[in-house]
Structure 1
Amino acid sequence: MAAERIAVIVKEIKYWKENRLLPETYCDYLLALYTNGEAFSEEADNNIKIRQWTVLDVTHLILSLLMIPFSLLVLYFTEFASVLQLGILLLFFSYLVWIMNYFRKIGHPYLHVPLIASLLVLLLFTTFISKLILDSNMLQITVLISNFIYWFIVSKQRKIKYLQIISILAIIFTLLYTGFLYL
């Protein structure tokens, strides 16, 4: 009777671990406790998991990539009211942030795709707002440089080398353009 009871408990703990109802370290501890360390060694071998691609993952990746041309389409090739254009861009941006958090949660290897797309949509959003508020070149340049500084901060946080390089080059290019603009 005790062996059946322990088997049921071990099965429950494995269920909790698979569905993340308890932290993994707690589940490992409980498994080691109830199985005297035998099941724990089996779990250590199976700890490396290969992530399978799903249709949902591919769909989210494709939609993330399509948000950039859709944003350009909404801004430059439609005659919607400015408020509606901003609302659509905000909707695109929030979708990309949601996808980014979803990919981070499941440990998706292509987390960079929605991150880069969201940064580009944010750049379009902020430059469009600044152009609506005040049609000034200095405001546009300030918004561009602040966006690129934000890109650099995000790239430092997430340790993304290519985004660091792109943000530095974008800042340099913007400053050079500003210098040539006001000569």
Structure 2
Amino acid sequence: MDEMRKKIIIQEINSWKESRMLPEQYCNYLLALYGQGELPPSKSNETASKKNDIFFGVLIGTFFAFIVFLNYFTEITIRMQMLMTTISILVFGLAVRRLKGRKIIFQMALMGMVLSLLLLTVSLAEFMAPGKAGILYIFLFINCGLWILLGNKLKLLHFSIAGSLGALVTLYFLII
């Protein structure tokens, strides 16, 4: 068997082992069989990756908390708030693009991006039409639709549920 096929098979068995599709004993046996008795790759890369994920998670959470603090607890003008929130959407978008292969950290960056977009649209609605709830409801429905579309496209059920619940709550307050 050529080396490329062995690498592919070993990568597939490792992914089965990580996702627990097969018991660990079977995966170890198959890895030893296809690796011809060699030890599987060390766990040091996984440990470094987990440390990077924790670092990025803390960084994303801190950055989002800073944006919320900037929007709601400071006396800067609404235009400056909208500019900083727009910059945060771009930063989160770059993080989403960079972290696409990682599950949890990718979703955290995506949540930061859509929540920053929600903050921006609420600020924009208040800036465009102060005191008019109708404009705000339109922007909220657009955000909820975006969340539902993202949930369906990326197969993230929690985004679809959040968008649906957000639309229902917005509709409730629109009726009452």
For residues 52-75 of structure 1, give each alpha carbon's deviation from its aligned partner in whole angstroms, at most 9, with x where no partner exists. 225443222212222332222111
Q: Which has the larger radius of gyration?
A: 1
Structure 2 partner of 1:116: 111
Structure 1 partner of 2:69: 73
Q: Tell me how many residue pairs correspond in the alignment.
A: 142
State percent identity of aligned pairs.
16
**Which moved further from structure 2: 49-58 or 151-160?**
49-58
Structure 2 partner of 1:138: 134
Q: Which amino acid aligns with 2:10?
A: N
How far has the Cα of 1:112 moved from its partner?
Answer: 1.0
**2:47 is the alignment partner of 1:83:** no
TM-score, normalised relative to structure 1? 0.71
Structure 2 partner of 1:40: 4
How far has the Cα of 1:47 moved from its partner?
Answer: 2.2
For residues 44-93 of structure 1, give each alpha carbon's deviation from its aligned partner in whole angstroms, at most 9, with x where no partner exists. 23324676225443222212222332222111111112222112111211
How far has the Cα of 1:173 moved from its partner?
Answer: 0.8
Mapped to 1, the partners of 2:150 and 2:11 lie a distance apart of: 30
Equivalences for 1:8-47 in 2 at 5 Å?
37-47=1-11
Question: Does the residue aligned with 1:157 lie in a helix, a strand or coil?
Answer: helix
Would the aligned equivalents of 1:60 and 1:99 in 2 still touch at CA under 8 Å? no
Would the aligned equivalents of 1:127 and 1:140 in 2 still touch at CA under 8 Å? yes
Structure 2 partner of 1:147: 143
Structure 2: tracts of 5 or more residues without a match: 19-44
How far has the Cα of 1:118 moved from its partner?
Answer: 0.8
Q: Which amino acid aligns with 1:40?
A: M
Structure 2 partner of 1:15: none
Judging changes above 3 Å, is the alpha-carbon distance between structure 1 residues 150 and 41 closer, same or farther for their aligned structure 2 residues?
Answer: closer
**2:124 is the alignment partner of 1:129:** yes
Q: Which amino acid aligns with 2:54?
A: V
How far has the Cα of 1:41 moved from its partner?
Answer: 3.3
Q: Which amino acid aligns with 1:60?
A: F
Mapped to 2, the partners of 1:44 and 1:169 lie a distance apart of: 42
Q: Which amino acid aligns with 2:128?
A: I
TM-score, normalised relative to structure 2? 0.73
Would the aligned equivalents of 2:78 and 2:123 in 1 still touch at CA under 8 Å? no
Structure 1 partner of 2:23: none
Mapped to 2, the partners of 1:120 and 1:41 lie a distance apart of: 43
